[in-house]
């Protein structure tokens, strides 16, 4: 008999079926017993009558979270969850769970949630919870929506290395590793290699891959390893073209999510609101919000400007543009008429920065000058700088953190909740 997924049981009412999954609940009412079985698509109630002696006797030794195969008869039952149940005829234990679970898979309503650290210690059990499974269905469909957009708009996917001979981001902490007889760094960004693709004439590229940041941060916004989604495009006039491209990408991803797993998701309207950093600082000051940094945003400022923009425009998104050169890397292009500011931006979503982007500097002499001004040694940068010596189109792009998008979208407490196996300052397992 072919397996039936629980989500498809309504189509099998009145038929014998086979389902496979985890035992989520066991209820013994004497002459009748009930099980809840969970698979990746949902949960169904199983009824075991005393007349089915073989199955009935197995239940007394069954443990929560054991994996079983169950054959039975699907029937309507208005009082059962989902309006149907399965009357058991045969049950096979595929894998018996030990009787004492280290963390509960089903949290008791009104009880204290298992502490977060312990949940991550037993992450594979924590991920059995349907609300945790939903997070990774959202990941899957959001990326699918983005990939559909990239495919429809002639992007080429590239796979950037994680070992680098020189740090890719000025000002960011790096992981230094021994690489045979030389020193290497774990990639903080695929930035250099996206730009190499522009110099190679690829014109439009996207990257999905790991990013490493050796920042000793203990916030809800940071992990030491995360997945980055990046794109880079050629022949742009300015960074506003990059922002317009990201707007279309976001709308495509959100639209696909709404059509698949999040029917109540609000798909944003474009264009998104845009303000310069100077305008944002003035607006916050007028509202009585103190500024910690002149040229950058604190988490509180990001939250406050998002609230204001939401109230004024209805948008969950805002681009903040024109960052000062002191808080941007050397390869961001600067304005000719105001060279202390860069053609760059951050995208804030529901109070959290999810993207950094810019038009890049593609003129080799300017690039070297800006690196020198930043106090950087040009020798380790020569392989990168060489990308621009033999012709390179004007270009720009973004680096985006999907875990932050999903954290805010689903109103999770931390990006760690949106990460399959989070890595932070203290965590290297499981």
What structural domains and CATH numbers belong to the chain? 6-95 (2.40.50.140), 130-409 (3.30.930.10)
Enumerate residues 6+ apart whose C-beta is below 8 A from 280: 297, 301, 305, 320
Phi, psi of 375 (to 5 degrees): 80, 20
Strand-by-strand arrangement of the 352-359 sheet: 156-157, 204-212, 225-234, 395-400, 352-359, 344-349, 317-321, 274-276
- Report the percent of the chain where pLDDT is more than 70: 97
d(CA 300, CA 351): 8
Rounded Cα distance, 227 and 210, in Å: 5
Cα 302 to Cα 128: distance, rounded to the nearest angstrom: 34
- Within 13 Å, how many C-alpha atoms sit on residue 103's CB side? 20
For 189-241, write each residue's pLDDT tens digit.
999 999 999 999 999 999 999 999 998 888 888 899 999 999 999 999 999 99
| Percent of the chain residues past pLDDT 90, beyond the cut | 85
Ordered DSSP codes for 110-137: TSPPPPHHHHHHTHHHHTTSHHHHHHHH
Q: pTM score, two decimals?
A: 0.92
- The pLDDT assigned to 358 comes to 98
Distance of alpha carbon 45 from alpha carbon 33, whole angstroms = 10
| Whole-number pLDDT of residue 108 | 62
Integer Cα distance of 207 and 168 in angstroms: 15
pLDDT tens string 398-424: 999 999 999 999 999 999 999 999 999
pLDDT of residue 342: 98
User: For residue range 357-380, what is the model confidence (pLDDT) as tens digits?
Assistant: 999 999 999 999 999 999 999 998
pLDDT band, residue 346 (cuts 50/70/90): very high
Give whole-number Cα distances, 300 to 166, 310, 352, in Å.
Answer: 33, 15, 9
CB 74 within 8 A of CB 9: yes
**CB of 188 closer than 8 Å to CB of 212:** yes
What is the spatial distance between Cα 247 and Cα 72, in angstroms, rounded to a whole number?
A: 50
Give the integer Cα–Cα distance in Å for 234 and 238.
Answer: 11
Q: Which two tokens stand for residue 21?
A: 């999954």
- Residue 179: pLDDT above 50? yes
**Are the beta carbons of 135 and 417 closer than 8 angstroms?**
yes
Query: 142-174: per-residue pLDDT in tens?
Result: 999 999 999 999 999 999 999 998 876 654 588
Question: For residues 170 and 367, is the Cβ–Cβ distance under 8 A?
Answer: no
Q: What is the mean pLDDT of residues 255-283?
A: 97
Instruction: Decide: 33 and 26 in contact? Cβ < 8 Å.
Output: yes
């Amino acid at each position: 008999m072919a397996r039936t997924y629980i989500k498809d049981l309504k189509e099998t009412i009145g038929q014998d079926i086979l389902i496979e999954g985890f035992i989520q609940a066991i209820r013994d009412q004497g002459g009748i017993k009930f099980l809840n079985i969970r698979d990746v698509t949902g949960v169904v109630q199983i009824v075991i009558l005393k007349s089915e002696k073989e199955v009935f006797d197995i239940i007394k030794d069954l443990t929560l979270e054991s994996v079983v195969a169950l054959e039975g008869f699907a029937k309507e039952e208005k009082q059962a969850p989902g309006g149907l149940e399965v009357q058991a005829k045969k049950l096979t234990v595929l894998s018996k769970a030990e009787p004492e679970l280290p963390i509960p898979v089903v949290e008791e309503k009104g009880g204290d949630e298992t502490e977060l650290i312990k949940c991550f210690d037993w992450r594979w059990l924590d991920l059995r919870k349907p609300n945790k499974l939903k997070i990774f269905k959202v990941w899957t469909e959001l990326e699918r929506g983005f990939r559909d957009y990239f495919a429809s708009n002639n992007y080429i996917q590239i796979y950037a290395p994680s070992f680098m001979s020189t740090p890719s981001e000025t000002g960011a902490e790096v992981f230094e590793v021994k690489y045979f007889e030389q020193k290497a760094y774990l990639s903080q960004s695929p930035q250099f290699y996206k730009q190499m693709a522009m110099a190679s004439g690829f014109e439009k590229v996207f990257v999905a891959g790991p990013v490493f940041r050796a920042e000793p941060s203990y916030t809800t916004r940071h992990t030491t390893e995360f997945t980055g989604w990046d794109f880079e495009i050629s022949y742009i006039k300015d960074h506003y073209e990059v922002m317009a491209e990201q707007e279309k990408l976001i709308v495509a991803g959100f639209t696909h999510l709404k059509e698949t797993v999040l029917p109540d998701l609000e798909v944003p309207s474009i264009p998104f609101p845009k303000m310069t950093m100077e305008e944002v600082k003035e607006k916050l000051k007028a509202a009585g919000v103190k500024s910690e940094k002149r040229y950058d945003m604190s988490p509180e400022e990001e939250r406050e400007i998002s609230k204001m923009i939401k109230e004024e425009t209805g948008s969950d998104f805002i681009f903040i543009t024109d960052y000062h050169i002191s808080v941007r890397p050397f390869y961001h292009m600067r304005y000719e008429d105001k060279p202390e500011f860069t053609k760059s931006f951050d995208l804030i979503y529901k109070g959290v920065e999810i993207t950094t982007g810019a038009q890049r500097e593609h003129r080799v002499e300017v690039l070297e000058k800006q690196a020198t001004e930043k106090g950087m040694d040009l020798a380790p940068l020569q392989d990168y700088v060489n990308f621009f010596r033999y012709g390179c189109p004007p270009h720009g792009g973004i680096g985006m953190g999907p875990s932050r998008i999903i954290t805010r979208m689903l109103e999770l407490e931390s990006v760690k909740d949106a990460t399959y196996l989070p890595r932070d300052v203290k965590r290297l397992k499981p």
